[in-house]
Amino acid sequence: MIKYILQITISIMISFSFSNTIISMNGNMDQFSSMNSGSFIESNYREFNNTTYNLYNMSFIKLPADITFHEIFFQKSMNQYLISSKISILNYGNLEDVLNNSFSANNRMLQISIFNIQSKSFIYGMSIGLIQSSIETYSSSALVYNFGFNKSYFNNKLIVGLSVENFNTIIDNYSNLEDSIPHIINVSSIYKPQFIPFNLRINYLYDSLNNQELGLSLIGHIDNIFYFYTGKYFYINDIIVYNVFENIAFGCGIFINNQYKINLGLQHLANGIFNIGTSLTAITLDNF
């Protein structure tokens, strides 16, 4: 009987889509603080002041109901390529079923990306990630693939990108129920005014379930030391459901001695529900 109830609980949680949840999480605080702007390229190829560095990053996000997200990220350039990897853990903590039996649940993802950066005006690449989800003794796993490019114009003042994200192969399921991961077409653009120290980003997302999203964000700086972020997402299919203060984010960052960057971000989702995140990035010069 307990096993049957646990299976029902798992089936409900499958509909919540564990795999989709960790895919949607982002340890890049620049993107988190601008309401998840950009694409998988910006998430896995990180620049500072238009410069590519070897670096590592640690980030932490606190979500509602004691859910936590941790990520460790590494990046290294090798000739004309940039290779990055990250380990992400989304921990749901201790949960209880209808009989008050306690069990744990979490998602884990290992992702590796490679980008051709020989030409700064045309960057393209791909990533592959292994996702594992576990609830009690039940587990699920999948491979996820992303492909895309960014093309810049007018001396890097305008960047247009296109990516196809979340193509996947399910390896194991919790049960015989299908845990669908919709793939996404992401069209992005970044405009960098010449005399104004901020970037305007626009994202349009369309997934295989016919959901559409529009994202607008601003990233500004003072002397390439202090950074400010804001962004908002609109779910086009249900645009009348959300008000102007929902699905909005703010954040700030400081670049210290051209080697360390500390970020703090806040997302307001709806009805007083917040995600809070922070990160530390360390740039390494020769000994990475």
Which amino acid is present at 101? N
Mean pLDDT by 10 residues, the chain (288 residues): 42 42 89 94 92 94 92 94 96 77 86 95 97 83 95 94 94 64 93 90 93 94 95 82 81 94 95 93 72
Instruction: Give the start-to-end residue ranges of the domains of the chain.
Output: 2-284
Considering the domain 2-284, what is its CATH architecture?
Beta Barrel (2.40)
pLDDT of residue 44: 96
DSSP string, 160-212: EEEEEEEEEEEEE-SSSS------EEEEEEEE--SSSSEEEEEEEEEETTS-E
Buried/exposed 114-124: b ≥16 CB within 10 Å, e otherwise: bbebeeeeebb
What is the reported pLDDT for 20? 52
Which residue matches tokens 């921990």?
Answer: 91
> What pLDDT is recorded for position 177?
52
Q: What is the pLDDT of residue 11?
A: 40
- Tell me, what amino acid is at 125? G
pLDDT, residue 240, reads: 59
